[in-house]
């Protein structure tokens, strides 16, 4: 049987990241089209129970690698383990999320495996030659490149929210195998002493289905409360343009754009954002874009599906009140 398509599952403290479930959900379609099995690879500590979860989303096989050194992500340990597991399993393709971890890990794996890498993929299909053909944005999203990698294994990172998460089927079971970590001591160049996770009731920015962002027109840090109130009603994450971040009104971790985080939500609401190309590069693949701006000629309206010409300080509170009636 072909060695199939593998998905590297990203988990934090036993919680699987949404992008990994997206990849398993879509990966089973690719595997079926190619007539191959879908395998999920999970690294960590105390993670054996996650096998049933990924199986319910479509994995045919699950490889579990547990070790104390894998409890928290470190570049050296994860690269060392995955490199050996992939070489031993000889898959045809390996998919990872285009997250902070995926972007750190995938290039190192590509170098060790001696293969190319399709990064920040926003679309994929099985072509007539039975290869995975990827689509990825180039030139700050002004164009898209079609990428076909012929060296085995094909390696790609996929942008979060590119695919929907399938409905899980609890009756589906997978073949589970446990591998030894076998971490090279020379690869351990950093040790995680503590992980501090910020507490927030809002979704993480890159995985959020809805994002409401503010730009220079927010005028000050205190005014982001207007966006936060709206976000809490509709279950959204709060983002910002570089102008707002550079002004010191909001932390850099909330920045959306070419030099910030790249997002692809179902709904993106841009408030007082002009639409500079660097910002568009970070949110241009959003399914629906709503722009609110006083300037009717603002560039953001060129990419918006819906536009409201008006003062965000008037419009956003009105939207919040209307949303309250709907939830």
- Which domains can be identified in the chain, with CATH numbers? 5-187 (3.40.50.620), 205-326 (3.40.50.1220)
Please tell me the pTM assigned to this model. Answer: 0.90
108-153: pLDDT as tens digits: 999 999 999 999 999 999 998 889 999 999 988 889 999 999 999 9
18-60: pLDDT as tens digits: 999 999 999 999 999 999 999 999 999 999 999 999 999 999 9
Asked if 51 contacts 174 with a C-beta cutoff of 8 angstroms, the reply is yes
Which structure tokens are listed for 93? 């393709």
301-326: pLDDT as tens digits: 999 999 999 999 999 999 999 999 99
What whole-number distance in Å separates Cα of residue 178 and Cα of residue 303?
A: 48
**Which is it for strands 118-121 and 154-158: parallel, antiparallel or unpaired?**
parallel
- What pLDDT was estimated at residue 1? 44
255-266: pLDDT as tens digits: 999 999 999 999
Confidence of residue 2 (pLDDT cuts 50, 70, 90): low
Which structure tokens are listed for 162? 């590119």
What whole-number distance in Å separates Cα of residue 269 and Cα of residue 209?
A: 11
174-220: pLDDT as tens digits: 999 999 888 877 788 788 877 777 667 799 999 999 999 999 999 99
Nearest to 261 by CA among 79, 26, 117, 103: 103
Question: Is the alpha carbon torsion for 242, 247, 251, 254 positive or negative?
Answer: negative
What whole-number distance in Å separates Cα of residue 148 and Cα of residue 141?
A: 19
Instruction: Please state the φ and ψ torsions of residue 245, each to the nearest 5 degrees.
Output: -70, -45
Around 105, how many Cα atoms within 13 Å sit in the side-chain half-sphere? 27
- Residue the block writes with tokens 């959306």: 256
217-275: pLDDT as tens digits: 999 999 999 999 999 999 999 999 999 999 999 999 999 999 999 999 999 999 999 99
Nearest to 243 by CA among 269, 208, 227, 219: 219
């Amino acid at each position: 049987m072909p060695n199939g398509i593998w998905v590297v599952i990203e988990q934090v403290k036993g919680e699987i990241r949404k992008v990994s479930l997206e990849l398993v959900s879509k990966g089973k379609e690719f595997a079926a089209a190619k007539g191959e099995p879908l395998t999920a690879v999970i690294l960590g500590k105390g993670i054996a129970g996650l096998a049933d979860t990924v199986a319910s989303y479509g994995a045919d096989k699950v490889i579990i690698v547990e070790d104390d050194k894998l409890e928290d992500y470190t570049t050296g340990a994860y690269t060392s383990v995955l490199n050996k597991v992939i070489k031993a399993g000889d898959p045809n393709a390996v998919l990872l999320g285009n997250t902070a971890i995926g972007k750190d890990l995938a290039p190192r794996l590509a170098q060790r495996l001696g293969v190319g890498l399709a990064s920040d993929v926003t679309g994929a299909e099985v072509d007539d030659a039975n290869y995975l053909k990827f689509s990825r944005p180039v030139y700050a999203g002004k164009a898209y490149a079609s990428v076909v990698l012929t060296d085995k294994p094909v390696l790609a990172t996929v942008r979060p929210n590119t695919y929907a998460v399938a409905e899980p089927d609890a009756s589906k079971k997978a073949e589970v195998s446990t591998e030894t970590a076998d971490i090279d001591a020379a690869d351990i160049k950093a040790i995680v002493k503590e992980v501090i996770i910020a507490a927030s009731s809002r979704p993480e920015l890159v995985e959020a289905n809805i994002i409401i962002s503010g730009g220079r027109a927010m005028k000050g840090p205190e005014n982001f409360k207007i966006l936060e109130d709206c976000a809490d009603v509709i279950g959204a994450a709060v983002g910002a343009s570089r102008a707002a971040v550079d002004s010191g009104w909001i932390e850099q971790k909330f920045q959306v754009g070419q030099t910030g985080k790249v997002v692809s939500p179902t709904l993106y609401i841009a408030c007082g954002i002009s639409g500079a190309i660097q910002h568009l590069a970070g949110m241009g693949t959003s399914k629906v874009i709503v722009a609110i701006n006083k300037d009717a000629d603002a560039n953001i309206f060129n990419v918006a599906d819906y536009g409201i010409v008006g003062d965000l300080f008037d419009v956003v509170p009105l939207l919040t009140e209307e949303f309250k009636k709907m939830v």
